[in-house]
């Protein structure tokens, strides 16, 4: 289970994300980036953060600690920003916090050491969960205390926005063409050998157990939170077993990037040349 803390002060909004997360201090003296259940994207984003983040941790990938954050909307009473006030009023009770890593830098894979093994494991993991939000536009990788950290997985597991058609997601190809680590020659073959057998029913059951009941209640088509948790386990096991449908496309994207000859010595703050050329060909 995730640790539960109580927010004591709203520090500042973080406007980089579409859901307007906020930096908050808690009663354990920690500081957290908090995503709110009352945001427009809904509680499914919080569920995705927990399931994907704890799955990454279970696979040995570095993720900041996740906690649940109890929120009293009165904390926003003195906030001058009307949007922030409305968001806090809409989010009483349990929200999601990610440990704030002070001094962390956005990870530019051409400026920090990222080896092919790590790049392959991250790319494989993102393909497994269908994460569309780790591109050169928005890396969602941090460098802190000499190592990388994965953050922000709310855009993954998109099947849970429409459970009636979730089966179609299982074999859906993964578009790796703009993945931020594609130019690091990711070894997805080694990642598949190492990580595939670790995605077990036991691991997934432990992962989904960390999702609070109140984020899963009243889900249409399910008898209760445990029924929803079981559906996540079935879905991710099926995705694991359908690697023949999505892994070859990922490997092909890696091979195409190698042929395109991405210059790994130059930091990329704009679309890499190989992406620009590919986009140009599609125009």
Asked whether residue 84 falls in the same domain as residue 118, the answer is no
Whether residue 143 is found in the same domain as residue 71: no
Report residue 269's pLDDT band, with 50, 70 and 90 as the boundaries: very low
Report, as an integer, the average pLDDT of 46-65.
98
DSSP structural state of residue 45: H
Q: Is pLDDT of 265 > 70?
A: no
Do 214 and 74 sit in the same domain of this protein?
no
**pLDDT band (50, 70, 90) for residue 261:** low
| Residue that terminates a domain, selected from 103, 135, 170 | 103
- How far apart CA 42 and CA 23 sit, in angstroms, is 19
Domain that holds residue 91: 3-103
My answer on whether 64 and 111 are in the same domain is no
Model pLDDT, residue 281? 43
226 and 202, same structural domain? yes
- CB neighbourhood size of 142 (10 A): 19
pLDDT, mean over the chain: 91
Judge if 74 and 148 occupy the same domain.
Answer: no
The predicted-structure confidence for 143-155, as pLDDT tens digits, reads as follows 999 999 999 999 9
Q: Which of 103, 131, 161 is the last residue of a domain?
A: 103
CA–CA separation, 5 and 69 (whole Å): 5
Pair 133, 271 in one domain: yes
Residue 163 shares a structural domain with residue 74: no
Provide the number of structural domains found in the chain. 2
111/199 same-domain check: yes
> Per DSSP, what are the bridge partners of residue 142?
106, 149
Asked whether residue 114 falls in the same domain as residue 90, the answer is no
Q: What angle do CA 142, 54, 106 make, to 5 degrees?
A: 5
- With 0-12 CB in 10 A as exposed, 13-18 as middle and 19+ as buried, what is 91? buried
Model confidence at 273: pLDDT above 70 = no
Q: Tens digit of pLDDT for each residue in 170-183?
A: 999 999 999 999 99
User: Are 203 and 273 in a shared domain?
Assistant: yes
Provide the 3-class DSSP secondary structure of residue 93: strand
């Amino acid at each position: 289970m995730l640790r539960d803390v109580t927010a004591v002060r709203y520090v500042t909004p973080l406007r980089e994300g579409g859901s307007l997360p906020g930096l908050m201090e808690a009663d354990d003296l920690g500081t957290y980036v908090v995503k709110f259940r009352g945001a427009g994207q809904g509680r499914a984003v919080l569920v995705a953060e927990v399931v994907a983040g704890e799955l990454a941790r279970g696979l040995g990938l570095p993720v900041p600690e996740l906690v649940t954050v109890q929120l009293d909307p009165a904390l926003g009473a003195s906030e001058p920003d009307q949007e922030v006030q409305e968001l806090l009023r809409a989010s009483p009770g349990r929200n999601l916090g990610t440990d704030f890593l002070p001094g962390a830098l956005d990870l530019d894979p051409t400026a920090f050491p990222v080896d092919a093994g790590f790049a392959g494991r991250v790319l494989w993991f993102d393909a497994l969960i269908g994460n569309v939000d780790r591109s050169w536009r928005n890396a969602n990788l941090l460098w802190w205390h000499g190592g990388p950290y994965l953050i922000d997985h709310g855009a993954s597991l998109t099947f849970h926005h429409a459970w009636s058609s979730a089966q179609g997601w299982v074999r859906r190809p993964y578009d790796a063409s703009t993945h931020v680590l594609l130019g690091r020659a990711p070894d997805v073959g080694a990642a598949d050998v190492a990580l595939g057998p670790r995605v077990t029913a036991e691991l997934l059951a432990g992962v989904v157990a960390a999702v609070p009941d109140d984020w899963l209640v009243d889900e249409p088509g399910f008898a209760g939170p445990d029924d929803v948790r079981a559906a996540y386990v079935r879905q991710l096991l099926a995705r694991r077993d359908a690697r023949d449908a999505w892994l070859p496309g990922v490997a092909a994207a890696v091979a195409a990037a190698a042929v395109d000859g991405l210059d790994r010595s130059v930091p990329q703050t704009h679309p890499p040349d190989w992406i620009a050329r590919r986009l140009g060909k599609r125009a």
